[in-house]
Amino acid sequence: MARLVAGVCGLPEGRPPWCPGAVVLAGRGPVVAAEAATGWAVRYRGYDPAHDRGLDLPRDQWEPMRVGTVFDLASVSKLFTALVAVQQVERGRLALDGPVAAHLPAFAPGITVRDLLRHTSGLAPELPFYARRDRADQLALLWAEAAAPTGGPPGGHCYSDLNLIALQLLLEGLTGRPLDALVRDDITAPLGLTSTGYGPLAPQGVAATEDQRRPWAKADRGLLRGAVHDENAWALGGVAGHAGLFSTAQDLAVLCRTLLNGGAYGTTRILGPAAVAALLDPPGLGFAVDQRYFMGELAGRGAAGHTGFTGTSLVLDRATDTFLVLLANTVHPRRRAGGSAPRAAAATRLARAVAAA
């Protein structure tokens, strides 16, 4: 695993590196087997589109990646929204197979809470909330899509940020509490995840993301560090069902252990075993299940997890009681199609190490 950590940033010669820096944490049972950081949390002051390269900060201003570096989780945030939803189901306040329209009347009949969690609602992948800064206008976009989904018929799979944005609104209406409070009070505080929360954050100790500018981005915001990268999450105020959380590898390792332990960590329980099984059993509720493209050889054995656009991911494998957290700043200084080969390679190395143990 140490050899993998040292090489996780790289790609074949002649291509840009996969990321400036990364943190990898792997464990089995109660033991953290490997934890290491490589590369740079902050290296660039911007991006030069004319020469397709990052613009380096002065060398003495580069900040090394550390195992405690905080990352913008991007879509890994969806897991926390899913956990809150399943907590409400477990408490009898929400029905998985109940109609979303019972809570959000603009939704077409037939779309259920389960559909939102499984991405089978038919909602489009995203909408341009970033182009409408007024909340009423943003919600009007969502309600129009919810009334007549354009992503496909309900029941078919279409991965959509809108599912989790809608779930956020449903949960907030159901509980009378904002999503950040639900995540804090019901997940992060009980588990002691002190480095996990929504931004904006002070930049110190946070991995930088993108020099966000058009035409490659959807908004002109400059270099981001501690402010959510996702343009729609930013437009929605930084707390969104699909993105917005920041965290560390250590905090995510605790979350993985909690799920592998059937919802308990030490003396703290956030979910019962049946609720955890509902989240992780195929096809999963909010969690991707057995996705070989980023899970490598861990896939197919009961693995579940998620990736994030900024370069983040976690995988937990119930069959071997192992987990892998890989956090990288792949969009620093600019987003590009880097693929998930390093994620899959890390998962495969872990799977082979467990098999050989």
Instruction: Give tens-digit pLDDT for 37-65.
Output: 999 999 999 999 999 999 999 999 999 99
Give the pLDDT band of residue 133 (cuts 50, 70, 90). Answer: confident
Q: What is the dihedral sign for C-alpha 33, 244, 196, 224? A: positive
Whole-prediction pTM = 0.96
Q: Could you give the CA distance from residue 121 to residue 114 in angstroms, rounded to a whole number?
A: 9
- At 5 the pLDDT is 54
For residue 175, give every residue at least 6 positions away whose Cβ sits within 8 Å of its Cβ, in sequence order, or none: 88, 93, 182
CATH architecture of 2-79+181-356: 3-Layer(aba) Sandwich (3.40)
Mean pLDDT, range 240-250, rounded to an integer: 98
- At 16 the pLDDT is 65
Cβ–Cβ < 8 Å for 25, 34: yes
- At 154 the pLDDT is 80
Mean pLDDT, range 196-224, rounded to an integer: 97
- pLDDT of residue 13 exceeding 50, the answer is no
pLDDT tens-digit map of 100-110: 999 999 999 99
- pLDDT of residue 343 exceeding 90, the answer is yes
pLDDT tens-digit map of 24-39: 999 999 999 999 999 9
DSSP-derived secondary structure letter, 200 = -
Which contacts qualify for 282-286: CB closer than 8 Å, 24 or more apart?
283/118, 284/118, 285/82, 285/85, 285/86, 285/96, 285/114, 285/117, 285/118, 286/78, 286/79, 286/81, 286/82, 286/83, 286/85, 286/86, 286/117, 286/164
- pLDDT of residue 283 exceeding 60, the answer is yes
- At 115 the pLDDT is 98
- At 46 the pLDDT is 98
- pLDDT of residue 162 exceeding 80, the answer is yes
- Axis crossing angle, helix 273-280 with helix 249-260, rounded to the nearest 10: 110
Mean pLDDT, range 317-322, rounded to an integer: 96
- At 301 the pLDDT is 76
Mean pLDDT, range 131-150, rounded to an integer: 96
- pLDDT of residue 224 exceeding 70, the answer is yes
| Residue 271 φ/ψ, nearest 5 degrees | -150, 155
Cβ–Cβ < 8 Å for 65, 23: yes
pLDDT tens-digit map of 86-104: 999 999 999 999 999 999 9
Q: Is 277 exposed, middle or buried (0-12, 13-18, 19+ CB in 10 A)?
A: middle
For residue 164, give every residue at least 6 positions away whose Cβ sits within 8 Å of its Cβ, in sequence order, or none: 78, 81, 82, 116, 240, 241, 242, 286
Structure tokens given for 146: 């919810």
Arithmetic mean of pLDDT over the chain = 95
- At 82 the pLDDT is 98
- At 300 the pLDDT is 84
